[in-house]
Amino acid sequence: VNYAAPVTLIRAVLPDMLKSKKGHIVNINTIGGLYAAPYNGAYCASKWALLAYVESLAYELESTNVHISSLFPGPIDTRFLSNPNFENFRKSPNIVSPNYIAQKVLSVIDSPKERVFIGSLFKLLVVKIANFNPRFFRKIIEKKNTPPQKLPPGE
């Protein structure tokens, strides 16, 4: 869903955007789309795949008036975080509301940027460190990503 659904939607709307010579595709990605997190390999891989696809497409669309943006928020206060495995994220001081994300989407449409990081400067620096020293970064991120808890039957 994290990769196939956006790609399918992009392929459906892109021809009309190109025909009308305008448009903006905005993907909600995650910092997990820039690094690997323990116990979240498939999720991170799907977000990396989406990022690679849209950034490749952005190169192809450079000479058009169709823009592509990827937003990288931290935890968003939705029911998704009600899973017991996301307790650390629910308690994050950087948690944002869905309305805040919607405002960021509107802002990036008004002023196109390819990558938009939402959250603290510290988070952005940590992601940069991850690129230079993945092993060190894994030790930091392991504290946020605890092993999954088994859910009771039926949940």
pLDDT digits (tens, 9 = 90+) for 55-77: 999 999 999 999 999 998 878 88
| pTM attached to this predicted model | 0.77
3 assigned to active site: no
Burial class (CB in 10 A: 0-12, 13-18, 19+), 37: middle
Number of H helices and number of E strands within the chain?
6, 3
Q: Which of 3, 35, 39, 43 is catalytic?
A: 43
Kindly indicate the confidence band of residue 31, based on its pLDDT and cuts at 50, 70 and 90.
confident
Find the mean pLDDT for residues 6-23: 98
